[in-house]
Structure 1
Amino acid sequence: MRCMKYQKICWMRSGTQSALSTKECRGTRRRSQMTEEEILHSHFGEWGSMRRDYLRRTQPEEWARMVREGIAEQYLRDYDDAVYDQFVQMTEEACKRDGVTEELKKRDVMKWIRAYNSVLAEVREILRYEVMPPIEEASM
């Protein structure tokens, strides 16, 4: 079993099973308690909004509990911040690995743009899988 932590967020994976754990999030101070409708019409950044939609679709009981307890809004904000930080870190690492540097940018801008876009696409794909594992995997 492996635990992937992003600040206040943790979900456990064991084989093909995935379970969300928000126990660490429960102790956080609430900004305000939004209704589910307000949460659904709010934007929590790319990753927080993606996670909200995923949880509603694949774990409706957990989502309802989070809304009822008033932790959904803070969870999504913290989640977006944490995944964005990981996105930045992974992008920097992939740029170093692939030689996407300022020097390349000065020498050949178009090559740099292609390489940088490739890095962004790779990192987004990796994180998208972390934020939204395949539904058949999450529903087991």
Structure 2
Amino acid sequence: MAKTIFEQTGGTYTMQGDYCLPNLTLPIEEEHPIGVWAQRRLRYLKQHHKIFYYNLLTSGKLRSHLADVEEEAQSLFLRLVKEYAEREGVTEQLKAENPMEWVRRMNNIRNQVIGIVINELIYQ
């Protein structure tokens, strides 16, 4: 019997009952740190873009994609928090004079920016 294309490229099979199943393995990926933004992106891909998720997973590019999203989201988040704080007048002086007001306003800014980052990067 002639070898299949899979066998010609070095693949092997395992007998499971009456069936020959190919021995498939995923490509080895580099370890990248996965933070909160990447975890949100991973959850979104698994639930709403399954084909894209499985394409990234089987090609060995999922971890690098998540690392890129994490890096981009984190830099966008920090930049927007800084811009919003400057625009709304949340300064170190306010922090020294009225710490509770500073915390309230910074939490408001952070929540706004989280929504922006999620809509712009995570859910795309």
Say which SS state the counterpart of residue 99 (structure 1) adopts.
Answer: coil
Amino acid paired to 2:104 = R
- Aligned mates of 1:59, 1:82 — CA distance in 2: 20
Q: Are residues 1:107 and 2:97 paired?
A: yes
> Residue 55 of structure 2 corresponds to which residue in structure 1?
65
Q: Whose radius of gyration is greater, 1 or 2?
A: 2
Amino acid paired to 1:110 = M
- Aligned mates of 1:86, 1:95 — CA distance in 2: 14
- Aligned mates of 2:46, 2:86 — CA distance in 1: 37
**How far off is 1:56 after superposition?**
1.0
**How far off is 1:131 after superposition?**
3.4
Q: Are residues 1:120 and 2:110 paired?
A: yes
State the TM-score, normalizing by the size of structure 1.
0.64
Q: Unaligned 5+ residue runs, structure 1?
A: 1-31
In the alignment of these two chains, the number of paired residues is 97
> Does the Cα contact within 8 Å between 1:47 and 1:131 map onto a contact in 2?
no
> Does the Cα contact within 8 Å between 2:37 and 2:74 map onto a contact in 1?
yes
**How far off is 1:105 after superposition?**
0.5
| Dislocated runs of 4+, deviation >4 Å | none
Q: Percent identity?
A: 25
Q: Unaligned 5+ residue runs, structure 2?
A: 1-27
Alignment RMSD: 2.0
> Residue 29 of structure 2 corresponds to which residue in structure 1?
33
Among 9, 19, 35, which residue is 1:45 paired with? 35
> Does the Cα contact within 8 Å between 2:84 and 2:109 map onto a contact in 1?
yes
**How far off is 1:83 after superposition?**
0.5
Would you tell me which structure has more strand in proportion to its own residues?
1
State the TM-score, normalizing by the size of structure 2.
0.71
> Residue 75 of structure 2 corresponds to which residue in structure 1?
85
**How far off is 1:57 after superposition?**
0.9
Q: Which has the higher contact order (CA 8 A, sep 6+)?
A: 1
> Residue 76 of structure 1 corresponds to which residue in structure 2?
66
Amino acid paired to 1:59 = H
Q: Aligned pair in 2 of structure 1 residues 43, 58: CA closer, same or farther (>3 Å)?
A: farther
- The one-character-per-residue Cα deviations of 1:97-119 (angstroms, maximum 9, x if unpaired) are 11110011011111101111111
Amino acid paired to 2:87 = R
